[in-house]
Amino acid sequence: MASVDPLKATLKRLENERLTVLAQLDDISQDSTEHKLVLKNLAKLPNDRRCYRILGGIAIEKTVDEIKPDLNAHATRVICTIIYSVTLYTRT
């Protein structure tokens, strides 16, 4: 009976890790949705319009034309992260 307690503890720890990973995956998914909304709205604006992007808590002023490639690249990385994470999660 003593060998069951470590197994229960391990199972509980793994379940907590699983829930943490799922919460992080949900956060990343929300980031992806926000990026899509921002890119959709930026597409409606003139390319020379000034806008701001928050990087590390600092507002960076650029034009829409300068921001779009950065946001597209970041959105692509976020989507790749989601796909990779789901692949790893479903494999185990």
Domains parsed from the chain with CATH numbers: 4-91 (1.10.287.370)
pLDDT mean by block of 10 residues, the chain; 92 residues = 81 91 88 91 95 91 94 90 83 68
What pLDDT, on the 0 to 100 scale, is given for residue 91? 74
What pLDDT, on the 0 to 100 scale, is given for residue 12? 94
CA pair distance 68, 43, nearest whole angstrom = 9
What pLDDT, on the 0 to 100 scale, is given for residue 89? 75
Measured CA distances, 28 to 1, 35, 74, 77 (Å): 42, 11, 12, 10
Q: Which long-range CB contacts under 8 A does 29-36 form with residues at least 24 apart?
A: 29/82, 31/78, 32/75, 32/78, 32/79, 32/82, 35/71, 35/74, 35/75, 35/78, 36/75
Q: Which long-range CB contacts under 8 A does 2-5 form with residues at least 24 apart?
A: none
What pLDDT, on the 0 to 100 scale, is given for residue 25? 87
